Structure 1
Amino acid sequence: MSKKIQATAIGIDLGTTYSCVAAWSDQHNRVEILPNEQGKNITPSCFACHDTQLLVGEGAKNQITRNPTNTVYDVKRLMGRRFSDSRLQNDILSWPYKVMNGSDDKPLIVLEHKKFSPEEISSMILKNLKKDAEVYLGKTVTDAVITVPAYFSDNQRQATKDAGALAGLNVLRLINEPTAAAIAYGLDKLADENHPQQKNVVVFDLGGGTFDVSLLTISKDGTITVKAVGGDTHLGGEDFDKAMVDHCVQEFKKRHRMDISESARAIGRLKVACETAKRDLSSTAQTPIDLDALYEGIDFFMTFSRAKFEELNVGFFTKCIEHVEKCLTDGKIQKHDIDDVVLVGGSTRIPKIQQMLRELFDGKPLCKSINADEANAYGAAVLAANLTGVGNKTVKDLIIKDVTPLSLGIQTRMTDMTILIPRNTPIPITKEDYFVTMYDYQTSLFVKVYQGECRDTRDNIFLDEFTLYGIPLAPAGKVTGKVCYSIDANGILNVLAELESTGNKKSIIIADRGKLSKDDIDKMLKRVEL
Structure 2
Amino acid sequence: MDTIIGIDLGTTNCTVTAIDEDGKTLVVKNNQNEFLTPSAVYFCKNKNEFIVGKKAKEKSNIDPENLVLYVKREMGKDKDKVRFNPITEKYNPYNFWGKTFSPQDISAIILKQLKHDAEKELGKEIDKAVITCPAYFGDNEKNATKLAGQMAGFDVLEIIPEPTAAALSYCSISKKERETILVFDLGGGTFDVTILKIQNGENGREVETVATDGNHKLGGIDWDSSIIDYMIDRFEMRYPDADIDFGPKKDKEITYGKLRIEVEKAKVALFKEGIESVPITIEYGGQKHTENLSRSLYAEKTQKWTDQCRIYCNNILSEQGLTWDNIDTVLMIGNMSNCTTIRDSLKKWSGKEINFGLINPKTCVSEGAAIKGYLLEGGDKVKVLGENIKPDYATFEQTKEEIEKADELQNNSQREVVTFNCQKIKSGVIPLSIGIKVINNKTGQDVIYKFFKKNSSYPISFTHAFPPNRDGDENLTIDVYEGEGETPETCKLLGSAIVQLDGKLTRQDKLDITLSKDNDGILQIEAKNQKTNVFMKAEIKRENSLSESEVKKAIEEFEEFSLG
TM-score by structure 2 length? 0.84
1:254 aligned onto 2:237: yes
Percent of aligned pairs with the same amino acid: 31
Distance (Å, rounded) in 2 between the aligned partners of 1:511 and 1:436: 20
Q: Quick one: which of 438, 458, 463 aligns to 1:432?
A: 463
Q: Quick one: which of 181, 199, 208 aligns to 1:219?
A: 199
Moved more, 151-160 or 410-419: 410-419
Offset at residue 303 of structure 1 (A): 1.6
Secondary structure at 1:400's aligned position in 2? Answer: strand
Distance (Å, rounded) in 2 between the aligned partners of 1:118 and 1:339: 38
Tell me if structure 1 keeps the 8 A contact 2:499–2:538: no
The equivalent of 1:483 in structure 2 is 513
Offset at residue 517 of structure 1 (A): 2.2
Distance (Å, rounded) in 2 between the aligned partners of 1:342 and 1:522: 40
The equivalent of 1:360 in structure 2 is 349
Distance 1:469 1:389, change over 3 A: closer
CA displacement, residues 83-128 of structure 1 (integer Å, 9 cap, x when unaligned)? 686x941389799xx833xxxxxxxx11354432222211111111
1:163 aligned onto 2:193: no
1:493 aligned onto 2:484: no
Distance 1:231 1:64, change over 3 A: same
The equivalent of 1:394 in structure 2 is 418
The equivalent of 1:421 in structure 2 is 452
Tell me if structure 2 keeps the 8 A contact 1:8–1:388: no
The equivalent of 1:509 in structure 2 is 538
The equivalent of 1:280 in structure 2 is 269
Q: Quick one: which of 6, 31, 34 aligns to 2:25?
A: 31
Offset at residue 518 of structure 1 (A): 3.4
CA displacement, residues 59-97 of structure 1 (integer Å, 9 cap, x when unaligned)? 211222111000111111121124686x941389799xx
Matched ranges for 1:330-369 at <5 A: 330-369=319-358
The one-letter code of the counterpart of 1:122 is S
Distance (Å, rounded) in 2 between the aligned partners of 1:410 and 1:78: 24
Secondary structure at 1:434's aligned position in 2? Answer: strand
Distance (Å, rounded) in 1 between the aligned partners of 2:557 and 2:239: 46
The equivalent of 2:63 in structure 1 is 67
Tell me if structure 2 keeps the 8 A contact 1:358–1:366: no
Offset at residue 48 of structure 1 (A): 0.4
Distance (Å, rounded) in 2 between the aligned partners of 1:269 and 1:369: 34
Tell me if structure 2 keeps the 8 A contact 1:46–1:61: yes
CA displacement, residues 228-273 of structure 1 (integer Å, 9 cap, x when unaligned)? 1111111100111112112222222222222213411111111111
Distance 1:358 1:216, change over 3 A: same
Distance 1:235 1:131, change over 3 A: same
Q: CA RMSD in A?
A: 2.5
Secondary structure at 2:362's aligned position in 1? Answer: coil
1:237 aligned onto 2:220: yes
1:407 aligned onto 2:433: yes
The equivalent of 1:50 in structure 2 is 44
Offset at residue 358 of structure 1 (A): 1.4
The equivalent of 1:458 in structure 2 is 489
Distance (Å, rounded) in 2 between the aligned partners of 1:181 and 1:434: 39
1:99 aligned onto 2:92: yes
Distance (Å, rounded) in 2 between the aligned partners of 1:168 and 1:430: 30
Tell me if structure 1 keeps the 8 A contact 2:332–2:354: no
1:374 aligned onto 2:363: yes
Distance (Å, rounded) in 2 between the aligned partners of 1:59 and 1:458: 44
Moved more, 328-337 or 133-142: 328-337
The equivalent of 1:143 in structure 2 is 128
Distance (Å, rounded) in 1 between the aligned partners of 2:328 and 2:482: 32
Offset at residue 25 of structure 1 (A): 4.6
Q: How many residues align?
A: 504
CA displacement, residues 397-428 of structure 1 (integer Å, 9 cap, x when unaligned)? 34311221121111234553332200111111
Distance 1:395 1:161, change over 3 A: farther
1:8 aligned onto 2:3: yes
Moved more, 48-57 or 388-397: 388-397
Tell me if structure 2 keeps the 8 A contact 1:92–1:99: no
Secondary structure at 1:99's aligned position in 2? Answer: coil
